[in-house]
Homo-oligomer: A and B are copies of this chain.
């Protein structure tokens, strides 16, 4: 068999990155900013790295038009660590946190959150197989809830909030890992937004946390100092050595985002790309999509083949055609095409052509 041609990577995160970002990342492993050595060998206390942290925070603030009373912090441990660190920092002992359950990742947040106090599931789509987002009008919000946790995009089951929900005076805390910087955000509803960077920004382990001023300063005594939001803010996020290379990659991705026209422009492209895949799925009943059409994710198109026996064949032939990482999440099975900001249109066209062709041959 000959060369399969270029590989298109549909992984759910870590995911495909722009070639120009990877090229700059490689260059940083030779000589970074004229220091005479690579970024990996630079002290985090050097002026150049201090400036990089400031620049990266400013880029995030500008890209999202973030109001001044929100702080941007970098943490380690990925979004999963935040499932514990959020109640440790924001929830007094015995106080109640609200959770909206919309799929695998919100369920993980609930499972961990309830170890730190009452976790009230104010809405869930479990009964319908996590195929939709429960409308905010039906959430059982009560005054005792300190904050309401949501997962606006669910990577494993492919549903997504279509707008920023309004919970009145209850601040939203949102795990935006898989949609961060893919769309504009209406911040007035949010107390905290956090995102692991391994989807739209690239590196694993890094978390960007955006926290409203008034929520800070309530950490429980057992909160590890390096994960204390207020203390890291006071000490300029430098209590411990930061994830230097990951922050640099994030900076490069934010540079690239600017060249693409910012979050509004990539949001249009993300919608358009996902629609072209959903269009192929909806054409007849060969493919199927578990999510209802109104709440489908524009980041992770989760789908299946009606004849489930064809799934492995689909994956094998796709792989042979240079379409990689199309298997669904291990908890959901089926197929999944992740279309984060850096997914090129060319990859999406290659995928839809392959899907059409596969149906023609096996339908």
Q: Which residues of A contact B (CB under 8 A)?
A: 4, 6-7, 9, 11-17, 22, 25-26, 29-30, 35-38, 40-46, 76-81, 83-85, 88, 112, 115-116, 196, 198, 202-205, 220-222, 224-227, 239-246, 249, 322, 324-325, 330
Contact = CB atoms under 8 A, between A and B. Distances in A.
A224 B89 CA distance: 12
Contact of A41 (B17, B35, B222, B246): B17
Contacts of A239: 80
B325 A43 contact: yes
27 contacts: A4-B36, A6-B36, A9-B37, A9-B41, A11-B41, A14-B241, A17-B38, A22-B29, A36-B324, A37-B324, A76-B76, A78-B226, A78-B240, A80-B239, A80-B241, A88-B222, A88-B224, A115-B225, A198-B241, A203-B245, A204-B241, A205-B242, A205-B243, A220-B222, A222-B222, A245-B245, A245-B246
A6 B37 CA distance: 9
A245 B221 CA distance: 33
A244 B204 contact: yes
Nearest to A93: B222
Given A14-B41, A26-B26, A81-B227, 12 more contacts: A9-B37, A26-B30, A36-B324, A40-B203, A43-B325, A44-B204, A84-B227, A112-B225, A116-B222, A204-B244, A204-B245, A220-B222
A37 to B, nearest CB: 5
A23 to B, nearest CB: 8
- Name the residue among A4, A35, A77, A198 with the largest chain B CB count within 10 angstroms: A77
A42 B30 contact: no
Copy number in the complex reads: 2
A85 B224 contact: yes
Given A81-B240, A227-B77, A322-B36, A14 B42 contact: yes
Contact of A40 (B88, B220, B249, B322): B249
Sort A-B residue pairs by CB-CB distance and give the 4 closest, nearest first: A7-B36, A84-B224, A80-B240, A205-B243
Contacts of A202: 40
A41 B26 contact: no
A16 B6 CA distance: 35
A226 B37 contact: no
A199 to B, nearest CB: 10
B26 A40 contact: no
Nearest to A36: B7
A325 B47 CA distance: 12
Nearest to A244: B204
A244 B6 CA distance: 24
Contacts of A243: 204-205, 243
A7 B37 contact: yes
